[in-house]
Amino acid sequence: MKPLTLLLMTKRGYRLLADTIEAFGALFEQVIIGRDQSLDNDYSQQIADLCDQHGIKWTARQSAMSVSTEYAVAVGWRWMIAFPEDKLIVFHDSLLPRYRGFNPLVTCLINGDKQVGVTAILGAKQYDSGPVLAQSSVDLTYPCTIEKAIDEISACYRATACEVFGMLQGGQQLMGRAQDESLVSYSLWRDEADYRINWNNSAARLARFIDAVGSPYSGAITLVNGLPARVGKSVPLPDVVIENRCAGKVIWLDAGLPVVVCGEGLLRIDELTDTATNASLLPLIRFRSRFS
């Protein structure tokens, strides 16, 4: 048996711990918990509570950390880890080698991928390029929010973790298979600017985007007549012929719900709130409104 240090963040880290602690808790020597204050709930307290319930030593992430176990496991981790690459196990929210990088599940949803998954890899100098230890996938149906997708891939985390932890429990040396470099793609990091809606995109893509950046993230942002607003729910509608197409203009109101012209198609806004007060802006009174 090879003891582990777990570096855990977010609901993904919590679910992996909760789903494996009964069978593999003896492997878990310590847990290091990361925080993400940009999320509605970063699950740091739930992870700590679960460790306390099962008598597992835990500590909050600090700038200088010491990992003394032979292997370390990182789930949702956002920081560099000074640890031997061939002993570092990283869980990644995509079916590598596709979507190396940041927020891959968000990018999968925006692109409308029908299949998503989780890959466990060993560390490497280039991020997410290490040998694959295990992989699991699940099919998605749309519309699909990021919250639903995170719940769906929990089963993938469980299956992948059980395979890897089973190897370690049996005392095996971990050996992965090389990724196919001809199939590599990347998902770039995101910041606040990436929550802004680009109305030149298609209505179908925008609906997926709005679902993909919702809770636990801060949500899709647009300007409504120059004032910032957050779009929580939307429905893509069939296109109509518009002789002087202008993405972002309201074409009509549907019982007070604005139907906005997109680069392709129309998008009905079913949930719209003021970013400052969180008050609903619906029903929209002003027909001649511009989303930008």
Residue 96: pLDDT band (50, 70, 90) is: very high
Angle subtended at Cα 152 by Cα 79 and Cα 143, rounded to the nearest 5 degrees: 105
Evaluate whether residue 289 is within a structural domain. no
Residue 66: pLDDT band (50, 70, 90) is: confident
Residue 1: pLDDT band (50, 70, 90) is: low
Evaluate whether residue 279 is within a structural domain. no
Evaluate whether residue 291 is within a structural domain. no
The per-residue pLDDT for range 165-215, each reduced to its tens digit, is: 999 999 888 989 999 999 999 999 999 999 999 999 999 999 999 999 999
Q: What is the pLDDT of residue 281?
A: 97
Judgement on whether residues 183 and 198 belong to the same structural domain of the protein = no
Evaluate whether residue 290 is within a structural domain. no
Range of the domain at 228: 192-274
Judgement on whether residues 150 and 19 belong to the same structural domain of the protein = yes
Q: What is the average per-residue pLDDT within 64-91?
A: 88
Judgement on whether residues 164 and 261 belong to the same structural domain of the protein = no
Judgement on whether residues 154 and 16 belong to the same structural domain of the protein = yes
Evaluate whether residue 63 is within a structural domain. yes
Evaluate whether residue 287 is within a structural domain. no
1, 46, 52, 155, 157 from 57: Cα distances, Å:
18, 14, 8, 25, 22
Judgement on whether residues 113 and 183 belong to the same structural domain of the protein = yes
Judgement on whether residues 237 and 171 belong to the same structural domain of the protein = no
Evaluate whether residue 33 is within a structural domain. yes
Residues 169 and 192: beta-carbon distance below 8 Å: no
pTM for the complete prediction?
Answer: 0.92
Domain tally, the chain: 2
Q: Which residue has the tokens 């729910």?
A: 233
The residues that bridge with 89 in the sheet, in sequence order, are 73, 122
